[in-house]
Amino acid sequence: MPRMPNTLKLKYGCNPNQPHASITYTGGGENPLAVVNGTPSYINALDALRAWELVRDLRHATGKPAAASFKHVSPAGTAVFGEGDTLSADFCKAHFYPAPGDHDYSPIAAAYARARSSDRVASFGDFIAVSEPVDLSLAKLIKPEVSDGIIAPGYDDEARDLLAAKKGGKYVMLRIDPAYNPGAHTESRTCFGLTLEQTFNDCVIDASILQNIVTANKDLPAEAVESLLVATAAIKHTQSNSIGVALGGQAVGIGAGQQSRIACTRLACDKADRFLLKQHPKALALIDRFRPGVGRPEKVNALDQFTRYHELDGTELSELHAVLDGEPAPITRDEALDWCASFGALALSSDAFVPFRDNLDRAARSGVKYVLHAGGSARDDLVTDAANEHGMVMALSGLRLFLH
The single residue of 37, 44, 64, 71 carrying the catalytic annotation is: 71
Q: Locate the DSSP E strands across 10-146.
A: 22-24, 33-37, 66-71, 74-80, 126-130
3-class secondary-structure state, position 71: strand
Collapse the DSSP code of 134 into the 3-class scheme (helix H, G, I; strand E, B; otherwise coil) and give the result. strand
**Measured over all CA atoms, what is the biggest interatomic distance in the chain, rounded to whole angstroms?**
63
Q: Is 404 a catalytic residue?
A: yes
Give the C-alpha distances (Å, rounded to integers) separating 365 from 195, 283, 338, 358.
44, 21, 11, 11
Within 8 A by CB and 6+ apart from 87, the residues are: 97, 100, 105, 110, 113, 114
Considering 31, 37, 44, 241, which one is annotated as catalytic? Answer: 241
Distance, in Å, from the CA atom of 240 to the CA atom of 199, rounded to the nearest integer, reads 18
Residue 378: count other Cβ atoms within 10 Å of its Cβ.
8
Q: Is 95 a catalytic residue?
A: no
From the list 319, 301, 401, 293, the residue with the least C-alpha distance to 353 is 401
What CA–CA distance (Å, rounded) separates 79 from 251?
A: 6
72 is catalytic: yes
Catalytic residues: 71-72, 241, 404
